[in-house]
Amino acid sequence: MAVHEILKMGDPRLLRVAKPVAEFGTPALKALIADMFETMAAANGAGLAAPQIGVDLRLVIFGYSKNPRYPEAPPVPPTVLINPVIEVLDGGRTEGWEGCLSVPGLRGVVERDERIRYTGFDADGHPIDRIADGFHARVVQHECDHLDGILYPMRVTDFTRFGFTSVLFPELDPNSDDD
Ligand code: NI
């Protein structure tokens, strides 16, 4: 296992539309996923997409035990989601602060769908089918955006609510809970 460098905004590899994973259960896929979990943990992230370490595949991971910005949000177990599809459910749109390991030190308010169903596959090709709302739904939408070359600042509409974490949230650990 190895911690990988996380690409930063400006790197063209973050702007690609990633390719579907074609083969499941392979040692190479499992090694990639192990590296992604190690990389996410080292960076204190809530999620990580394969393109963020330069791998052009439709694969994201996420999971967290608690989030200081959403203290009421229930924990989400470590999840591998491959070739994901998101379906929007009734629940409207909701605003929330986001950060990104590829956009270090910054936060911005992004509008997302409050309630979604997401489907896809785990590392062995077993289907995943979950309904999520709130912060869980936000993390999934944020990570899946990475697979289409979209970084959260591209979704910011109000730049009066976009800035440096250390200024906006001086009480937060600067290394905590980037998405
Ligand atoms: Ni991100």
CATH value at residue 16: 3.90.45.10
pTM of the complete model? 0.94
Task: List residues, by chain if needed, whose CB lies under 5 Å from ion ligand 1.
Answer: 100
Within a domain: residue 113? yes
Contact 132, 153 (CB under 8 A): no
Number of separate domains in the chain: 1
CA 123 to each of CA 76, 78, 87, 98, 126: distance values in angstroms, whole numbers, following the listed order? 18, 12, 21, 27, 7
Q: How far is the CA of 151 from the centre of ligand 1 (A)?
A: 6
- The answer, yes or no, to whether residue 54 has pLDDT greater than 90, is yes
pLDDT at position 2 is 94
Within a domain: residue 178? no
Domain that holds residue 29: 12-66+74-169
Within a domain: residue 3? no
Amino acid at 171: E
- Mean of all residue pLDDT scores within the chain: 94
pLDDT band for position 73 (50/70/90)? confident
Within a domain: residue 96? yes
Within a domain: residue 47? yes
End-to-end CA distance of the chain: 22
- The answer, yes or no, to whether residue 165 has pLDDT greater than 90, is yes
Q: Which residues are catalytic?
A: 143
Q: What is the C-alpha radius of gyration for the chain, rounded to an integer number of angstroms?
A: 15
> Under 8 Å CB-to-CB from 78, ≥6 apart: which residues?
37, 61, 62, 63
pLDDT at position 142 is 98
Within a domain: residue 174? no
Q: How far is the CA of 152 from the centre of ligand 1 (A)?
A: 7
pLDDT at position 1 is 77
pLDDT at position 70 is 63
